[in-house]
Amino acid sequence: MEKAKWWQDAAVYQIYPRSFYDSNGDGTGDLRGITEKLDYIASLGVDVIWSSPFFVSPWADGGYDVADYRNIDPAFGTMEDFEEMIAGIHKRGMKFMMDFVGNHTSDEHAWFQAALSDKNSPYHDYYIFRKGKDGKEPSNWASIFGGSAWEYVPELDEYYLHLFAKKQPDLNWENPAVVKEVLDILHFWADKGVDGYRLDAINYLYKEPDFPDVEPMPGSIYGFATEHYANKPKVHEHFRTLHDKVMAPRGLTTVAEVAYLNEETARGYADPARGELDALYPFDLLNVDQDGYDKFSPLPLDLPKLKKALSHWQGVMHDHGWLALFIGNHDQPRALSRFGDEEHYPARSAKLLANAMYFLQGTPYIYQGDELGMTNPHYDSLSRFRDVEAINALNEGLARGESEEHWLRLLNDRSRDGGRAPFSWSSEDNAGFTKGTPWMDPCANFKDINAEAEDKDPDSVLNFYRRLLKVRKGLSSVIYGDTEFLEMEDPELMVYKRGSDDEMLISVNNFSGNERSYKLPEDFEDAKLLISNCGDPVIKDGKAELRPWEAFTLIKSK
């Protein structure tokens, strides 16, 4: 068996910097805040920190609208603060992964400003401008954040394409000058010591240039045109360029945020033999509790559907690439509120989610606060929400005549703000996140669920995560093993086996408030307990008597 690459036995901690820790009392998290908390992060046993963007940005999309790729936004600090942070990360033996937003810039970026001011500027062709059609947009493509994907510029009598918010014009990767700029930026940060890149929305780089109209969504004149811009064959070329010109020569690792993937494309991106990307982060894996791609049409968790999706991706990537494993991120509501039972079994179900996800094959990505069992903030007013996607959806809903109460519930359950509320550090004011006025209100339950209290409690979610990352490390079944899901149709149990040449393990998870009996496969009857979320499992005659939300993992040599 080929020796694992370092990132295949690593765990990653994701920071959303604005909400992590505020060191100077201005109400927003900052880079010094991260530096001050590095010992905490290292204590989890993670190997890598990935931070969401902290570059100069008008913050129209949470920093994913970059106005200057080479400078830190003053709200987050200075270049010296960055250098100090990365030195502190390296000193503790960890690595740093940078978020690179390459599909679009902010409309306030100097390139776009130049493009707007003069059709003949070389920067005009950095973006995707088109003439209107019959007095309307060039096509009826919908923006991912609602409304049209085209914005009219009267001075130019042209429209520009924005797959995301209208303040995020898409870059034209078919212009070699754009690719050259991107390569320079990636080298710039590599020179500053970053160890890898998380590539944002990167499978949208190539758009079919004729922009055909698409089937409108129900009740709209616009339609999702992903078939014309997601995972088009030409993006492979761009990935190879990034790999050959930056990542390989500089020894950087990559993880790509990708959606709408099929098996062939996924392998095409991540098969090591092809030299494109190291690992995939398939964002739509968590679309299992909603109607299609509409996150504001929630459905209860369909566990068989989640198991099918996980099992599918495990099979597709085994020996053909590498996966990021995640239960939450800055684009999702809190995993515990969504998939666990925050009312009756908050800590136990938060631990279950980690046990269920992180013994699969791939690199664990832990989103800040999930290691505490943080929940959605459950705000009592619509004015508390900040995210562009949430606010656009709210406005569209209200315009359709839907009630504010309905949208308060929906945003509390489903919006990206759920995962973006400030990190609960302690029971002090503002959850110990800031001495000032926080840019977003913290979770109401921070007095009970916070890092300081959990650090001291051996039974906390935090200490469960620490144990899990420790016992998982170096296991051949975890790194190399194949994965087989059992009890596929069971709506409450998630059980899977992993097996390598010399070892096998089984992860058993009761996703319900019910007691359940589960007959272990015979080959596990003499296996040893690796980790559990509520004391020793009760196993009699090969049958586990599972308590509500009980989870454990057993292991044995072959």
* Residues forming the site for ligand GLC (CB under 6 A): 61-62, 64, 101, 164, 200-201, 257, 330-331
Comparison of 255 and 544: residue with beta carbon closer to ligand GLC? 255
What backbone phi and psi angles, to 5 degrees, belong to 30? -150, 175
| Residue 200: its H or E element | strand 196-200
Q: From CA 53, how far away is CA 500, in angstroms rounded?
A: 38
The residue from 73, 99, 158, 200 that is catalytic is: 200
Nearest distance in Å: CB 167, ligand GLC:
11
The three-state (H, E, C) secondary structure of 327-345, written as one string: CCCCCCCCHHHHHCCCCCC
Which residue has its beta carbon closest to ligand GLC? 64
481, 416, 422: which is closest to 449 by C-alpha?
422
DSSP state of 122: G
Buried b (16+ CB within 10 A) or exposed e, 205-230: bbbeeebebbeeeeeeebbbbbebbb
50, 27, 29: which is closest to 257 by C-alpha?
50
Tell me which amino acid residue 15 is.
Answer: I
Comparison of 34 and 165: residue with beta carbon closer to ligand GLC? 165
Comparison of 105 and 253: residue with beta carbon closer to ligand GLC? 105
Q: From CA 415, how far away is CA 335, in angstroms rounded?
A: 12
257 part of the active site: yes
Nearest distance in Å: CB 281, ligand GLC:
9
Give DSSP secondary structure letters for 19-39.
GT--SSSSSS--HHHHHHTHH
Comparison of 158 and 200: residue with beta carbon closer to ligand GLC? 200
Comparison of 164 and 511: residue with beta carbon closer to ligand GLC? 164
Nearest distance in Å: CB 379, ligand GLC:
20
Q: Which residue has the tokens 């566990």?
A: 303
Nearest distance in Å: CB 555, ligand GLC:
34
200 part of the active site: yes
Q: From CA 136, how far away is CA 154, in angstroms rounded?
A: 13
3, 9, 5: which is closest to 270 by C-alpha?
5
| Residue 365: its H or E element | strand 363-367
Could you give the count of Cα atoms lying within 13 Å of 183 in the half-sphere of its Cβ? 19
Comparison of 109 and 330: residue with beta carbon closer to ligand GLC? 330
Nearest distance in Å: CB 292, ligand GLC:
17
Comparison of 201 and 286: residue with beta carbon closer to ligand GLC? 201
Nearest distance in Å: CB 61, ligand GLC:
5
Comparison of 63 and 548: residue with beta carbon closer to ligand GLC? 63
Nearest distance in Å: CB 414, ligand GLC:
15
Largest CA distance in the chain: 79
The residue from 47, 257, 371, 387 that is catalytic is: 257
DSSP state of 162: -
482, 487, 486, 488: which is closest to 308 by C-alpha?
488
Total residue length of the chain: 558
Nearest distance in Å: CB 475, ligand GLC:
30
User: How many Cβ atoms from other residues are within 10 Å of residue 472's Cβ?
Assistant: 21
101, 164, 141: which is closest to 226 by C-alpha?
141
Tell me the catalytic residues.
200, 257
